[in-house]
Each structure stands twice: as C-alpha cells, then as structure tokens.
Chains A and B, each alone.
Chain A
Amino acid sequence: MKITEKSALSLGKMLQSREISVIELLTEYLKETEAKKDLNAFITICRDESVKRANLIQKNIDDKVLSSPLAGVPMAVKDNICTKNILTSCASKMLSDFKPPYSATAVERLEKAGAVLIGKTNMDEFAMGGSTESSYYGSVKNPTDTKKVSGGSSGGTAAAVASNQCAYGLGSDTGGSVRQPASFCGITGLMPTYGSVSRYGLIAYASSLDRIGVMGKNMSDCAAVLSEIYGSDKKDMTCSVAKKTDFTSFCDLGIRGMKIGIPRNFFSGQTDAFVGKSVLQGARELEKSGAELYEFELPLTDYYLPTYYITACAEASSNLSRYDGIKYGFCQSGDELEQMYVKTRTEGFGLEVKRRIMLGTYVLSSGYYEDYYKKALKVRRLIKDSFDDAFKKYDLLLAPTAPTTAYNIGENRNDPLKMYQGDIYTVAASLSGIPAASIPCGKNQEGMPIGMQLMAPQLREDVIVRVGCAYEKITGGSVDE
C-alpha cells in the first residue's frame, strides 16, 4: 500500500512515532498532485507555504508541543473557504484574484491542530451545482472514470481525497455538496448539524443552509477532523449551541439495538435500480451487526426540491449582490456607475450563477414573495417536522445519497432542471438542519461508486459516526484494514 493511500489517522500516528517526517509525507502528496493534475481537482497548490508549514509542524512535533492526531497530515480545502492571503476564488472569475485577509474558523482550528494545507480545491462556481462543471477553472474528472463528473459542488475535494492527493479535506454542503461528490467518488463525506461548525470564512451561497463538511477516506478520519472544528464560535452568531466533542470516541461503540428507519419513497422510480439495491444491501449488513431496520413512509418528498431551490436561490441572490467590482474581486470599469455594475457582474459570473441569482430575485420580488419565498419557508417547517417525527421512532435514517452514480461530463449541462433533480435525496437534511453523511456502499456494473446516506437528529453526529464505523468494520471498507 502506498503511503498516500493510508488514512489520515494512521498517518498522524506514523508522524508522532517518527516513522516518517512531515516533509517526507508532504513530498509524497505533492508528487501525487503533480501526477494527477489532469483530474483538475485543485485550483491552487500551496507548494511553498505547505513546505514551510511542514517544517514548522515537524519542529512542534519534535518539541512535543503538538500531539494532535492530525498534526502534520496534509489537507485540502475547498476554494470557497477563506484562507488568509491565499487565493480563495469560489471557482469564479469574480473572485479569481481574491486573497482574503483572514482564514475561516474551521481552517484556523485545523491549523492549530497541525494541519498542513496542501491546496485549494476546485468546485462548482459559488458552490452552485452538482457536477463541478460550472467552475471557471474547468470540470473536475472522476478518479474512477475520467469521462465522468466527480459530483459537486465539492467535486475537487472529493476527487483529491479519492485519488490520494491529500489525506482529507474540507468541503461545503448547502444541498448535498459534500455528500453527493463523496458518493460519486467513493469516499466518506460528513455534513454536520447546521450551526455546529462555524460558517465564519465560508463564502456564502445560501446562509440558512450552508455548512462546512468533512471529506475523508473513512468515517474515523471524518470523526477526527470534525472533532477539531466542531463547537461554538464567537464569529458566527448562528454557531453557539454545539459543544466541542471528541467524535472518535464513538467509533467502536457498535450499533446493537439501534433503530434504523428506511424511508421507502427514497427508493422510488427515479432511483437507479442498482443504487437502490446496493443501499438496501448495505442496510442488511447493518442488521447483521445488531441494528433493527424499519421501512416507513416519509411524506413531502415531492416538495423537497422546490422548497430547497426557492430558499437557496433567494438567499444567494442577496448574498452575491456584494460582488459589484468596488471592494474586491473582478472589476470591469465603465464610465457610469451602473455600467460598471452590469459589466462586472455580467462578465464575472458564469451562467449557472446568473440563473440562480435571477431565480432568487424572482421569488423575492414584490408580487411573488408570498407565492414562492414565503410558502417555501412554511414548507421548510413541514419538512423539518416530518423528520422530527421520524426521529421520535428511529435513531437514524438510511437512504441513497443520490439517485444515480456519477454521470458523463456534459451529460446534464444543458438541462438545469434535470441537474437539480439529482439533489432530491440530499436537500431534505439540508432544509431540516440535521447532520448527514454519505459512506461508500459498493459499486455499480461499471465500477462507479455508490453512496449510502445516513441521517441523524440535530447534534447527533455521534450516531452517524457509530453507524459509519460499524459499517466499515463489517465490509472491510476502512482503508487501513
């Protein structure tokens, strides 16, 4: 096994025991990024900074002042998460030269734990998309089959983790952007409860839905990374209820007696038969380990996507209004103020971003607010209530992450509505504020990975970690075994 194929936690142990040095490990990963350039997973490789940092971390490990399990392990960060003085472009021409004077809280916390930032990953422009095809920097290719998409919007981080260009990474999830690319690339992606990880420094797409998520080779790695970034932050008013937790302590607790609900309607017509079968097969494996399975009907499935797209686009239209060419980012001057605004925004944004800004503007504008936006806020409550009800009976809900496996690059590009429909199973957890993860559960005939989605009540990431780890144990999915 190549060293870059190992899990982040086992690498962390090797670094602490001096089996390998931080700079040696980094060098191996930098070689991988060079060799796998064609996947287009990264927008920026932080070669010089990471080398400098590796030396510093090594010194701290040698001095025994840094003993965190992730110290010295290279990570990748999605390019919509701010990194101080390092390009943070959101994969948009609009921010193609933006170097923020601050880092996101999540990045700061990981750096405090000794993380080495190897690079910033490609994504759908402003995280709007499910295939990383809307990036200003071009599509990311799926490491399993380079003709196929890596999913999105965190397609860069997913591909980077899957192809061993980093040990783990951060993504962001608004309607499935961590879980769906994890599913498409065959890795683990964990979206924590809304407000449990600070959004400070995460460039907003839809504020009431956006979350930073963790992507790794297995659930234990994700649990370790989550433990570092989890918990309240004074810089984010909506992040104040979660307490710092060591999630790795839940890895070995097992799932005996755990009640797992399987919503029947998540396996309906639009779900690829092979995907459905694999996920149900995965559920059976859990049953063998002592979990109890219950099929049930989760209402409102047909309303998930309209509710999600109205809410997300509305917030996006407002969040993205700040890109006017004045304070930062791309600017196309004009003789008149209005001209400057229009030229900057017309040339600076890609088509999908424009489409969502216009949709969002539409649902908020006078005469339509009541029919669309206000209704969506009400249905959002209904959806959340339906999940609350389900969690009265079940500890965890299990479903496919996406209705299909990764599709061909370009296949859905001309049909936005079809693209949106790929989010059908991920947006419900986003709307309800609950944590959810995607873990690999087999491959289809073509060898493309399939993802199984685990959803738990708010602030119950521990349940997801337990189930995820138990599943890896059963199937031998954990990379180090």
Chain B
Amino acid sequence: MSDSYEIVMGIEVHAELSTESKIFCSCATKFGKEPNTQICPICTGMPGTLPLLNKKVVEFAVKTGLALNCSITKENKFDRKNYFYPDLPKAYQISQLYLPICRNGFIEINSNGKKKKIGIHEIHMEEDAGKLIHDENATLIDYNRCGVPLLEIVSEPHFSNGDEVVAYLTALREILIYIGVSDCKMQEGSMRADINLSVRKRGEKELSTRTEMKNMSSFKEIKRAVEYEAERQISIKQRGERVLQQTIRWDEKKGIGIVMRSKENADDYRYFPEPDIMPVVISDGEIKRIKNLLPELPQQKRQRYISEFGLNDYDASIITSEKELCDLFERTTALCDRPKEVCNMIMGELMRIFSSLGKTAENLNVAPEKLASLINIISEGKINRNIGKDVFEQIYFYNVDPWEYVKENNLLILDDPELTEKTVNEIISENQKSVSDYLSGKQKAKGYLIGLVMKRLKGRADPKSVNEAVDKKLKQLQP
C-alpha cells in the first residue's frame, strides 16, 4: 500500500436486539426456524394491519445509548423509508431518520497499543428485512426475519486502518453482549457491519468518493475486505481514474469485492413521519431507571480489576472480555477474598480446559461457592497445588464438592514427619546411582529424588518438608 494515501472509514453496525418478540408484532424472533413459520399479518404488511411498538426495543436502545455515552432523544418519532424490494413486504421500512433515539456518543478503543476515541454519530431503531434465497432463476422469500428489532449504530468516519475497525467492533460487541441487548453472532447475522471507505492523498482535507461494503461474516473477513478495498481504490487513484460510489458485496471465497446492482430507486427514499406510531416520549425518570439497570461496562471493570484487585493488564482484559468469566471471578472473589488466586485458577486451569476442548465461556457452569472453597483449601495448605488442579477438573466436569471430594479420596496434605523420613530413606537406598550423581555435583539428581518421594506419598506430602528431609539425608551422606 502506498504511504502517500490515507484511508478514511466509517462503520454502520446493525445489531439485532435479543427481545422475545418482534419490534411491531408478537411473533417470536428465534433464529433458524423453518421459512415463514414466524410470521403474521403485521410483519408481512397485510392490508389493514398496524405496527405495535415493543416497549423493550425502546428500553434496549436507551440502554445501548447510555453505554455508548450518547445523549438520549426525549421525544422519539419513527419515519418510513420507502423502496421496493422483495425482502420488504410493506415496501417501506419503519426506521428513524429525523429524530434518532441516541446521538453524539463515543467508544474508546485500544488498537496496537494506541488509545483512540471513536465517535458514535447516532443510533436508531428499525425493523429488519426478510431473507432472500436466490437460486438459478428465481428468488424465494422467507419473512421470518422481517420485523426483528434492529439498532443501527452509525460511527463517525474516525477509522484509518483495519485494526482500528476490528478493535472498535470487538469493543462494541463486548458492550452489547454485556448489557444484554444483543447476542451479536456474526455468523447468524445478528451483528452486521457495513464499512464506508474512501481514500485520499495525505494532507487533503476533502473526503473522497466512498464505497459501502457489505456481507462480511467475521472480523477477520472485515479486515481482509478493508485491505482489499483500500488497495483497489488507491490503485484506481494512482491510475488517475475516479472511484465510483458503489455498494460492494464481499465474496469471502474469492477474496474479492463484487459490485452489487443498486436497489431500485435507491436515491430517493421519500422518508416521512410514520403516521401509525405516535411519538414515544422518554422521561428523565425512565432514563434514570434504565441507567440503574446498566451493568458495569467492560472497560470500567478492567480498570477496577487492576486497581482494586491488583490484576495485571493482560489477565484483566482476558477476564473482562467475557461476561461469564467476570461473573465467576467477582462472585468467587467475594466469597474467598483471594482475587489473585481466583485469577490464577481462571487464567490457568479454566483456560487450559477451554483450549484443550476448544470451548468458550458460553454457558459456563462452575459454581463460585465451590471454586472459592477449593481456593481456600489450597491457600490454607490443606492440599497441594497439583492436587488442587485435579480437584478443579472434578468440579468442572462432575460438579463435585471440593471439600468432600478431598476427604473421600484422602487427598489432604500429610502431616507425618516419621512417614516422610521413612520414605526418604527408602528412596535413597533404592537409588544409589542418583545419590552418587548428586554427590558428584549434579544438582538435578536431587529434584529427581524429591519427585520419587512425592510420588510414593501419592502427592499428598508437603513439598517443603519433603525437600527439607531429602536435603538433610543427603547432607549426612556427604563425605
């Protein structure tokens, strides 16, 4: 990529809200149902039907706006956006043009070690369209998705590279999941990002013609698409030609953008106030109530974990990246008051299980009470750390009670100096070769002997006293 050009990008994110019912009717919003089994006269725009605005959609929109530092519009109106397309049964989409529910917010991102504030221009509520299935010579329409509530979150054109885009989307996704308004599954289309991209010579003030890219199914593909499109536009400019204003569909198999035929009459949507929906007034009291519902956001949590619990930056960001991990960490810490131990158990044992099973924190089912009890048992020196790891696995897979499990399986630490001494003597007399190795200066041999003793004591011995006993014995044997 030529350094004499810079990229300017803005992002429009569409997030499906995780309400039970659709935005204007009582049909369910479940993903993956048989085509046209979650539809009714309202969401298919049958004559004589009227939209009935879902209260939860407004609440979720306000919640999102507050989490993204926006100002909230007190008197909300809906507008109709008119265009013909088979996925839009009324031939208009109920959206918000003139008075979007949230405005002027921001998100702070961290991209390649650099902090940056990304402006949120506005957030508005609207209805999703249906799904089109194209075959050889026809298009089939499934209206199940029609009327699923959407938030459109429009950023300012504050991005200059793909990493920033990914950092923004990661942060945004984290927040939306955290506050419980969307599950943001890109594969299922419940989070979709359109990228507006233009390039200009460094130092130029004017924005250049932009293209809009759609259909990227993951953050990885978004980054690829951004890089592809930036290079394409730069090479067009280098040839002295003009970039055309187009909508581009990203083809991930081929790794190229394909120019879409523009929607019919795309230029003139003839927006006007939706007469079927009365203005929705949001009072200060309501905003306050929703604010109180808002959980601590990932970034705030991260800071608090570092300052309050003394976690390092890395551990804090891993734990705060998933709501389930935060819950486990905070609730366990509240019970045992050993944040660092809790952190180590999550970062060590839990992550190890996740990576070996290829799992994520979704549906995590570890009881904080049990984890706290395990950490207490270890910290009080009642069992060995290594045995603690086994007990954790037992909790994870079989939901055992740690204390009972330790007792039933005789895993408590041995407090029996005589048995220790006797075992040390046995091991030493059985392993004369290692003893002479040690005596001739090979320090490693001592560790081997300690290991044998521990093994014979089934790991239950206190490593410190075993160490001391072996040391003492070896000293006696020194010439």
Touch A–B, Cβ below 8 Å: yes
| A contact set with B: CB distance below 8 Å | 81-82, 88, 90, 95, 98, 100-102, 104, 199-204, 206-208, 234-238, 314-315, 317-318, 321-322, 324, 326-328, 337-338, 341, 361, 364-366, 369, 373, 377
Q: Which of B86-94, B120-128, B388-396, B407-415 is near enough to bind chain A?
A: B86-94
State in angstroms the CA–CA spacing of A314 and B274 once bound together: 11
Chain A residues near B264 (CB, 8 Å)? Answer: 338
Residue in chain A with minimal CB distance to B91: A321
Cβ of B22 to closest chain A Cβ, rounded Å: 14
The residue in B45, B48, B52, B89 that gathers the most chain A C-beta atoms within 10 A of its C-beta is B48
CA distance A203 to B45 in the complex (A): 11
Q: Which of B41, B50, B53, B272 contacts A318 (CB 8 A)?
A: B272
Report the stretch among B99-107, B275-283, B416-424, B460-468 that lies at the interface. B275-283
**Does B139 sit within 8 A of A, measured CB to CB?**
yes
Closest to B273 in A: A377
Task: Return chain B residues, CB-CB under 8 Å to A238.
Answer: 50, 275-278
Q: How far is the CB of A303 from chain B (nearest CB, A)?
A: 20
A201 contacts B82, CB within 8 Å?
Answer: no
B427 within 8 A of A: no
Residues of B contacting A317 with CB < 8 Å? 82, 270
Cβ contact within 8 Å between B48 and A204: yes
Q: Are A82 and B47 in contact (CB under 8 A)?
A: yes
Contact flag A101-B268 (CB < 8 Å), given A238-B278, A321-B91: no
Complexed CA–CA distance, A94 and B115 (Å)? 59
Residue pairs across A and B with Cβ atoms less than 8 A apart, 13 shown, are: A101-B41, A104-B48, A199-B50, A207-B275, A234-B52, A318-B91, A318-B92, A322-B90, A324-B84, A326-B141, A327-B45, A328-B47, A377-B273
Q: How far is the CA of A238 from the CA of B53 in the complex (A)?
A: 11
A413 to B467, CA, bound (A): 110
Q: How far is the CB of A55 from chain B (nearest CB, A)?
A: 29
B44 beta carbon closer than 8 Å to chain A: yes
Candidate in B82, B86, B272 with the most chain A CB atoms within 10 angstroms? B272
A431, chain B: closest CB distance, angstroms: 13
Q: Give A235 to B244 CA distance when docked, in angstroms.
A: 46
Question: Hey, which chain A residues are within 8 Å of B52, CB to CB?
Answer: 234-235, 237
Give every chain A residue within 8 A of B50 (Cβ-Cβ). Answer: 199-200, 235-238
B residues sitting closer than 8 Å to A (CB atoms) are 41, 44-53, 80, 82, 84, 86, 89-92, 139, 141, 264, 267-268, 270-273, 275-278
Please measure, in the bound complex, the distance between the C-alpha atom of A199 and the C-alpha atom of B275, giving whole angstroms.
Answer: 12
Contact of B91 among A98, A322, A369, A373 (CB under 8 A): A322
The one of A104, A321, A369 that contacts B272, using a Cβ cutoff of 8 Å: A369
Q: A202-B48, A238-B276, A337-B139 are in contact. Are A321 and B84 (CB under 8 A)?
A: yes
**A428 CB → nearest B CB, Å:** 18
User: In the bound complex, do residue A322 and residue B268 qualify as a contact, i.e. CB atoms below 8 Å apart?
Assistant: no
Cross-interface CB contact of A207 among B84, B91, B276, cutoff 8 Å:
B276
**A204–B275 alpha-carbon span in the complex (Å):** 11
A203 touches B277 (CB 8 A): no
CB-based nearest B residue for A367: B268
In the complex, what residues of B have CB within 8 A of residue A377's CB?
A: 273
In whole angstroms, how far apart are the Cα atoms of A104 and B277 in the complex?
A: 18
Report whether A315 and B275 are in contact in the complex, using a CB–CB cutoff of 8 Å.
yes
Q: Using A102-B41, A237-B277, A327-B89 as known contacts, say yes or no to A322 and B47 having CB atoms under 8 A apart.
A: yes
B39 closest partner in A (C-beta): A327
Residue of B nearest to A233 (CB): B50
Query: Contacting B86 at CB < 8 Å: which of A206, A207, A208, A326?
Result: A326
Contact B48 A208 (CB under 8 A): no
Q: Which residues of A contact B91 (CB under 8 A)?
A: 318, 321-322, 324
Known: A238-B276, A337-B139. A366 touches B268 (CB 8 A): yes
**Which residue of A100, A202, A321, A326 contacts B82 across the interface (Cβ within 8 Å)?**
A321
Main secondary structure of the interface of A (DSSP, over half): loop
> Knowing that A102-B48, A104-B48 are A-B contacts, what are 14 other residue pairs whose CB atoms are under 8 Å apart, sorted by A's residue number?
A101-B41, A101-B46, A102-B46, A200-B50, A203-B48, A204-B48, A237-B52, A237-B276, A238-B278, A321-B84, A322-B45, A328-B46, A364-B82, A369-B272
Kindly provide the distance from the CB of B244 to the nearest chain A CB, expressed in whole angstroms: 21
DSSP majority for the B interface?
loop
9 nearest interchain CB pairs?
Answer: A321-B91, A208-B275, A207-B275, A364-B270, A203-B47, A201-B48, A82-B48, A203-B48, A322-B90
Determine if A200 and B48 form an interchain contact, defined as CB atoms under 8 angstroms apart: yes
> In the bound complex, how far is the Cα of B276 from the Cα of A317, in angstroms?
15
Contacts of B86 in A (CB 8 A): 324, 326, 337
B84 contacts A318, C-beta separation under 8 Å = no
Q: Is the CB of B48 within 8 A of A100?
A: yes
Determine the chain A residues whose CB is within 8 A of the CB of B270 once the complex forms. Answer: 317-318, 361, 364-366, 369
Residues in chain B near residue A100, CB distance under 8 A = 41, 46-48
Q: A328 CA to B49 CA in the complex, in Å? A: 14
A195 smallest CB distance to B (angstroms): 9
Whether A237 contacts B41 by the Cβ 8 Å rule is no
Q: How far is the CA of A262 from the CA of B268 in the complex (A)?
A: 45
- Which residues of B sit under 8 angstroms from A369, Cβ to Cβ? 270, 272
CA distance A361 to B84 in the complex (A): 13
CB distance from B291 to the nearest CB of A (A): 26
Give Cα distance in the complex from A314 to B92, angstroms: 13
Report A171 CB to chain B, min CB distance, Å.
Answer: 15
Interface centre among B53, B92, B270 (most CB of A within 10 A): B270
Which A residues lie within 8 Å of B41 (CB)?
100-102
Residues of A within 8 A of B267 (CB): 366
Q: Whole-angstrom distance from the CB of B138 to the nearest CB of chain A?
A: 10
Cα distance A208–B277 in the bound complex, in angstroms:
10
User: A237 and B51 in contact (CB under 8 A), knowing A327-B46, A337-B139, A361-B270?
Assistant: yes
Minimal beta-carbon separation of B272 from chain A (angstroms): 5
Q: How far is the CA of A442 from the CA of B31 in the complex (A)?
A: 64
- Nearest-Cβ distance from residue A338 to partner chain B, whole angstroms: 7
Q: How far is the CB of B57 from chain A (nearest CB, A)?
A: 13
Q: Is the CB of A95 within 8 A of B89?
A: no
Name the B residues within 8 Å of A102 (CB-CB): 41, 46, 48-49
* Bound CA span A184–B455, Å: 107
Contact between B272 and A237 (Cβ–Cβ < 8 Å)? Answer: no
B149 → A minimal CB distance (Å): 16
Residues of A within 8 A of B273 (CB): 377
Interface pair A322/B48, CB less than 8 Å apart:
no
Whole-angstrom distance between the alpha carbons of A272 and B169 in the complex? 69
Give the distance to chain B from A128, nearest Cβ to Cβ, in Å. Answer: 14
State in angstroms the CA–CA spacing of A95 and B271 once bound together.
26
What is the CA–CA distance of A337 and B138 in the complex, to the nearest angstrom?
A: 9
Q: Which residues of A contact B48 (CB under 8 A)?
A: 81-82, 88, 100, 102, 104, 199-204
Cβ contacts under 8 Å, B277 to chain A: 237-238
> Which chain B residue shows the least CB distance to A239?
B50
Cβ-closest chain A residue relative to B138: A337
Residues of B within 8 A of A81 (CB): 48
Q: Please determine whether B92 and A321 come into contact, CB atoms closer than 8 angstroms.
A: yes
Question: Min CB distance, B456 to chain A, in Å?
Answer: 76
Instruction: Give the docked Cα–Cα distance between A199 and B47 (Å).
Output: 11
Least CB distance, B381 to chain A, in whole angstroms: 65
* A90→B51 contact, CB < 8 A: no
CA of A204 to CA of B45 in the docked complex: distance in angstroms? 11
Contacts of A206 in B (CB 8 A): 275
Please judge, given known A-B contacts A237-B276, A364-B270, whether A204 and B89 are in contact too, CB under 8 Å.
no
| Cα of A206 to Cα of B275 in the assembled complex, Å | 9
Residue of B nearest to A234 (CB): B52
Distance from B127 Cβ to chain A, minimum over Cβ atoms (Å): 14
Give complex CA distance A365, B272 in Å. 10
Inter-chain contact B276/A318, CB cutoff 8 Å: no
Q: Which residue of A lies closest to B83 (CB)?
A: A321
B49–A341 touching, CB < 8 Å = no
Task: Report the bound CA distance from A79 to B189 in whole Å.
Answer: 41
Which residues of the other chain, B, contact A337 by a CB distance below 8 angstroms? 86, 139
Cβ-closest chain B residue relative to A90: B47
Beta-carbon contact of B47 and A95 below 8 Å: yes
Name the residue on A nearest B274 (C-beta): A207
Docked pose: A377 CA to B275 CA in angstroms: 12
> Is there contact, CB below 8 Å, between B89 and A318?
no
